[in-house]
Structures are given as C-alpha cells and as structure tokens.
Amino acid sequence: MPFKQQALLRQKLFVLGSLAIGSLLYLVARVGSLDRLQPICPIESRVASHLPEQFPLRTLQYKRGILHELRKGNATKEQIRLHNLVQQLPRAIIIGVRKGGTRALLEMLNLHPAVVKASQEIHFFDNDQNYARGMDWYREKMPFSFPHQITIEKSPAYFITEEVPERIFKMNSSIKLLIIVREPTTRAISDYTQVLEGKERKNKTYHKFEKLAIDSNTCEVNTKYKAVRTSIYTKHLERWLKYFPVEQFHIVDGDRLISDPLPELQLVERFLSLPPRISQYNLYFNATRGFYCLRFNIVFNKCLAGSKGRIHPEVDPAVVAKLRRFFHPFNQKFYQITGRTFNWL
C-alpha cells in the first residue's frame, strides 16, 4: 500500500477512535451527573422520620413509572398493595393567589422526587357541597403516593374564601401553606384577561378593564371588583393569621418564578424541609413560549399549557398609576407581616 494511503488510513482510524472515546466519556459523565442530580435521601421533617436512608436513582424512576400508570388507571389493586401505595391528605397546600402562578409552582415542585401533586383543583374547602362530602371524599381525590412522599394540592380560591382557613385548620393545624403573589396591578389585569378570553370564546361582550376597576361615580378604585379585591393580599392574609402562625406560610415571588425560577424553588424546598433536589438541569428556557419548561430526565420534558402567558390588553396608564397608588399601603403592610419585600412600583 502506498505511503500516502497508509497515512490517510491511520488518520481516519485516529479520528474514529477519538469520536468513540469521546462518546463513551460523555455517556459516563451524563450517567454520573444524573446520579448526582436526583438521588433520594430522607425527608428531614417530623412527618417522615421513618424514611429509608437512600433510594437509588433506578428505584426512583421505576416508582415514578408506577405512579404514572396509576394516574392513567392501569395499575392493579395488587400493585397498589405490593408497593405500599397510599392516598394521603396534603401536607402542604398552595392556597393562592389566582393568576399569581399557582399552576407553574405546583408543576415545578413536582420535579422533586419526594413531592406528588394533585393534578386538578379539588375545591374541597371553598365549595360547601364538596366540603359536605367529608374528608374521606377529599382523600380519595388525592393521587397515590409512597409513604415517604408529600402530597400537595392547589386551589387559588382558598386564599380569598372566608370559611377556608378554619376548615383547613380543623384538618391539620400544622399544615404548611404556600402563597404565590405577583405585583398586584399586573395580577389584576391578568385576572381580567383570563375572564375576557373566556367571554370571547363564547362570543360574549365584556367591559373594558378601566370601566371595571374604576368606579364611574366616584372616580376611585372599585374595591367591589373581584380582580381588585383579590390583589389586596394583606386583607386576606390577616384572616388566615387568626388560625395559623406566620411561620406556617411561605410567600413565593410569582414574578421571579417566571424570570428566574430556581432560587424561588430552592426556598420552597427549605420551607418544606425537603432535601435539595431541583437543579438548573431541571429547568430550561423555551424562547418560543417565553417561559421556563421542565426537564424530569433525559427522556421526559414538559411545558405549561399554551394558555399561560396570555398577552394583556393595553390599559390606560393613568388607571395603572391610580391602582398602584391604591395598592401601595396594603403592599407595605404585607411586607411587614410576611417579612418579605418585593420590588413593586
């Protein structure tokens, strides 16, 4: 074989060998990083002192598969018994606020291997008919989980409904309560936008936001308008504080959860006494949607529904300014009570 052909052959073999070794090293690094990202260890809390010391990653993935089959209705009673699966009452509830980011928060917390979420809003404590059905009915609405996991549900109407704090207190006086808030005026406009979209789908007309938010007789902010009333966070929180100490609440910054979710999720992990398991690997920005999406593993990704992130209608700047002045003293009191300050105008 001529010398030039031998040299060319050696060069090709060298390139192929380098590619093979590089691919092998990448796979080894990837497996190692996954094991570092999602090992299971005990939940450090009063309610989970019985936990085993460690679950290997493969066991966790297998168990997630079982829970997925249960949600689809494919698991048998024998599988439920064999794997010691239970339907637990929630140990934490996202009680609000509507249009604050409750769905995003719930889905992101579900990234944690020790968290199991109720997929639908149950509306047990704010609906008299549902509440009359009793605690067994409520428990049956919860997802199956393993004893070491924490079940979380979310129903934003809980935050503003008068009867709810007492009802939840009677179920569990030590439950942990999550409240996710956004800048109050932005939240009110987002609330209006969702209702407006529903009206338009039914070919119904709806007043402009300015007409609803401002009383035409007094030219003052209309506190009878539900979207405005919901944004007076301190008024609702004071009702909850009659039953629960402030230490049982954690306030999540809904605006920051959109722009930089990981720090907010890490704060929630600590509040729930969960070992840190959610990492930047689990969150990636989707430029098309303009939101962060979720990465559970190298196979399964999930983005929130397309209805999230609706474009808000243009609102008269004078009305926006008037609302922000109105909310300002309530915001200051909210900061004082919760010990958390936000950069709200």
Residues 113 and 121 sit within 8 Å (Cβ to Cβ): no
Which tokens hold the place of 208? Answer: 């402009």
102 in a labelled binding site: yes
63, 72, 99, 141: which is the annotated catalytic residue? 99
339 in a labelled binding site: no
pLDDT of residue 332: 97
Among 98, 100, 167, 101, smallest CA distance to 134 is for 167
Which tokens hold the place of 11? Answer: 């060069």
Residue-by-residue pLDDT tens, the chain, 345 positions: 554 455 555 555 554 555 454 544 444 344 343 333 333 333 333 333 333 334 443 444 455 555 555 555 556 666 666 678 999 999 999 999 999 999 999 999 999 999 999 989 999 999 999 999 999 999 999 999 999 999 999 999 999 999 999 999 999 999 999 999 999 999 999 999 999 999 989 988 899 999 999 999 999 999 999 999 999 999 999 999 999 999 999 999 999 999 999 999 999 999 999 999 999 999 999 888 788 999 998 888 888 875 566 789 999 999 999 999 999 999 999 999 999 999 897
91 in a labelled binding site: no
96 in a labelled binding site: no
Torsion of CA 220, 222, 223, 228, to 10 degrees: -110
223 in a labelled binding site: no
Which tokens hold the place of 325? Answer: 């002045």
22 in a labelled binding site: no
Q: Where are the beta strands (DSSP E) in the chain?
A: 86-87, 92-96, 115-117, 144-145, 150-154, 176-181, 249-253, 283-286, 291-295, 301-302
Query: Whole-angstrom Cα distance, residue 269 to residue 52?
Result: 19
pTM as predicted: 0.78
Q: 250 φ, ψ to 5°?
A: -130, 130
Dihedral sign (CA 341, 165, 112, 296): negative
309 in a labelled binding site: yes
229 in a labelled binding site: no
Query: Could you confirm whether 99 is annotated as catalytic?
Result: yes
